[in-house]
Amino acid sequence: MDAWWMCEVPYPHVPSAVLDAADSVRASLPNRYCDPRISADLFEEVIDEYLLCDEMGLNVCATEHHAGINSLVGSNPMLVAILARLTRKARILSLGTLISLRREPVRVAEEYATADVISRGRLELGFVKSGGSEMASANANPVNNIERYWEAIDLIGKALTHQDGPFSWEGKHFTHRHVNIWPRPWQSRLRMWAATGDPHTAAEVGRRGMVHTLVLRGPEGTRRAYAAYRDARREAGLPPAPVDNFAYSAFVCVGDTEEEGRKVGAKLLWFLNTSLKSAPQYAQLLPGTAPPQVAGQAW
């Protein structure tokens, strides 16, 4: 079993009164509440923690979110590249670029290949489906989001492994007439992860043999998703997945005493619940995801 450490670089310094009054703390919260000096200090602190993990033998993981207090990491490849240069031993997991928001998957493949070379072969790739507020921030169409997700993964995978000169990609959602990335990644094949609690998506993750990652899912949701992964492999005639193909992310709070641990945990739970606050137009009312007549029922 491997252990991975991750920090989303949250921004918990917006006044509570502002958060309480806002209809959403994602996508629409004015960035005047984000002090760049505090942001710089947060990034410096978190990167130092990543380096400490490297010294202690832990692997490291970086994620990506957009326009909200839950994370200041708007570009996963940028943070991954920083860690690739500064760390020495740790495996580096990108979990990951919101590829259904990106219009250029080949550019993502180039960024990953560069980071893998800088790290001398320590990169692992993870992909996540974007949330509603992030689709709004990226001006992305939520219709056919999952189709774009899988096609982008296929295109990135081929771009990272193809070594025989340019190839053309004529897909349903992406068209690239000339794909030939430089530098070539250090690893001949990078291990791929996918984060999802949706059983339908989990089944496809299983058929592809990717590492299945669950984030903050309860026991029942975890069992359903993992079962869908295993069932899909069995139905496809594939061998059972190794235990390392299952990953779980959870929050853990510790302290010198139980009282201290619970006190820290209470703060974490408050911030987690607060950072999920999102207005209907960034959630259930995204174009193409609900009929027009439900709009009046959302508020």
282-288: long-range pairs with CB below 8 Å, 24+: 282/24, 282/26, 282/27, 282/28, 282/132, 282/133, 282/136, 283/132, 283/133, 284/132, 286/132, 286/135, 286/136, 286/142, 287/141, 287/142, 287/143, 288/141, 288/142, 288/143
Q: Residue 291: what pLDDT? A: 58
Examine residue 96 and say whether the peptide bond preceding it is cis (omega within 30 degrees of 0). Answer: yes
For residue 285, name the pLDDT band (cuts at 50, 70, 90): low
Quick one: pLDDT at residue 109? 98
pLDDT of 258 strictly over 90: yes
Does the pLDDT at position 298 exceed 80?
no
pTM for this predicted structure: 0.91
More confident residue, 259 or 133: 259
The Cα 278–Cα 94 span in angstroms is 25
Give the pLDDT score at 26: 87
Q: Give pLDDT, residue 250.
A: 84
Residue 286 has pLDDT above 80, yes or no: no
Q: Predicted confidence band at 288 (pLDDT cuts at 50, 70, 90)? A: low
- Chain mean pLDDT for the chain: 91
For residues 44-58, average pLDDT:
98
pLDDT category at 61 given cuts 50, 70, 90 is very high
Per-residue pLDDT of 193-227, as tens digits, reads 999 988 999 999 999 999 999 988 888 999 999 99
Task: Quote the percentage of the chain above a pLDDT of 70.
Answer: 94
Domain architecture of the chain: domains with CATH: 4-195 (3.20.20.30)
